[in-house]
Homo-oligomer: A and B are copies of this chain.
Amino acid sequence: MKKQVDLVIEARWLCPIVPKNTLLEYQSVVIQSGKIVDICAITSASDLYQANEIVQLTEHVLIPGLINLHTHAAMSLMRGVADDLTLMTWLSEHIWPAEQAVLSEQYVQDASLLACAEMLSGGITCFNDMYFYPKATSVAASQAGIRANLGLVVLEFPTAYATDAADYLQKGFDAHDSWRGNPLISTCIAPHAPYTVSNQTFETVLTYAEQLGLGIHTHLHETRDEIAQSQTEFGLRPLQRLAQLGLLGPNFLAAHGVHLIDSEIDMLAEFGCHIAHCPSSNLKLASGIAPISKLLAKGVNVGLGTDGAASNNRLDLFAEMRLSALLAKGMSEDATVIPAHQALEMATINAAKAMGLEDKIGSIEIGKLADLTAVKLNESIINPCYDPISHLVYTCGREHVSHTWVTGELRYSNGLYANIEPLELKEIINMWQPKLQLHKH
């Protein structure tokens, strides 16, 4: 007798990420209660399983849902509010004034919903976020049905959200309590950056992170100025300072890591730290180019992030996969660096590891959650296709994503969202754009 299951996805091609650089053909992924319970030939699956629903992907490659390892979802409404400016002009004359004008729980929920829509339509099933009002972000993510690892942001200076470091932490833990039991939301602590967080606060963060078993996510070595400032103020480069404070370890995720000297790369490797590489944002803000091929060669775990929409201006991991692979080849003058399968690993399993979620997501394996993305390869202008893995990185764009599932639930398909109305997004844009426009000079 056939076994009853919720969903069988029949895929022309399957790229499970684990095992490494593997491409399977004509495979069924069998899903029950949101989990992958079997992966086998389409013919075997139809012998073994009676599915409530069968989705036939006859011209598609099925991959694990992409994971955006560093973003600020609520900056989606600031997409293109200011470009082509030096970092400090951009921040102090454009982004911070715009942020001050709108920052509120409702703003963060609305802007995060738009970002969740954008990410789902681009095959992203999980994002690692850092922003004010994380509770509002969790509401948006829960509505959209996308997975989120939400940083409890901490910094010293007051905003509409919180007054000081203790207040940020308090509000963060309140948020954390609010989403207990929500299967889509997980937590880390997110001290904003070495230049906005004191030693004492970093120590407090470390204590809480250890007590609660949470990861730490911070901006690190993004610009030369950050490093120079730290040397002036502390007599140390930021990474050295955090090392002295005891923060480095396998629960430590540094976003950017653009400017790293060899001994720092060794230190990151030794402590088992993780890097969220954000190549578009690093180029656009002229921060520089992270030494990714060196980091990978030393065994540092590197995932990919879009950063916020204000500095990218797309929340698009297809763009980041392509750019990270191309950039590493060009910089190292070695075309074999970051082959296509490794760029895909950075956008999936590596990111899952960096968040401590590799037992749940990041690959298509039995027992993992069914966070899955289908990419349709039939369009003539992206053919012929000799190797779907190469195509995913070098040829396809996010416009080729046809289906996005989270925990086995279809959240996006062919331009439509399960839980977001098109009109809802238009209304959000129409409400907030005029308020932000005022702060565009």
The interface stretch among A45-53, A261-269, A333-341, A349-357 is A333-341
In which size bucket is the chain A interface? Answer: 35 or more
What's the Cα separation between A339 and B84 when bound, in Å? 5
A395 in the interface, Cβ–Cβ < 8 Å?
yes
Contact: B83 with A394, CB < 8 Å? Answer: yes
Q: A115 CB to closest chain B CB, in angstroms?
A: 9
Stretch from A85-93, A164-172, A176-184 contacting the other chain: A85-93
Find the residue from A312, A319, A325, A383 having the highest chain B CB count within 10 A: A383
A interface majority secondary structure: helix
Chain A residues with a Cβ under 8 A of chain B: 77, 79-81, 83-87, 90, 114, 117-118, 121, 224, 280, 282-289, 312-314, 319, 322-323, 325-327, 329-340, 380-387, 390-391, 394-395, 397-399, 422, 425-426, 429, 432-433, 436-437, 440
A333 in contact with B84 (CB, 8 Å): no
Give 5 A-B contacts (CB < 8 Å), ordered by A residue.
A121-B381, A282-B330, A286-B333, A314-B382, A323-B326
CA distance in complex: A339, B429 (Å)? 25
Contacts of A83 in B (CB 8 A): 339-340, 387, 390, 394
Q: Which of B386, B397, B437 is within 8 Å of A437, CB to CB?
A: B386
The minimal Cβ–Cβ distance linking A388 to chain B, given in whole angstroms, is 9
Are B80 and A330 in contact (CB-based, < 8 A)? no
How many whole Å from A178's CB to the nearest CB in chain B? 27
For A395, give the chain B residue with the smallest CB separation.
Answer: B313
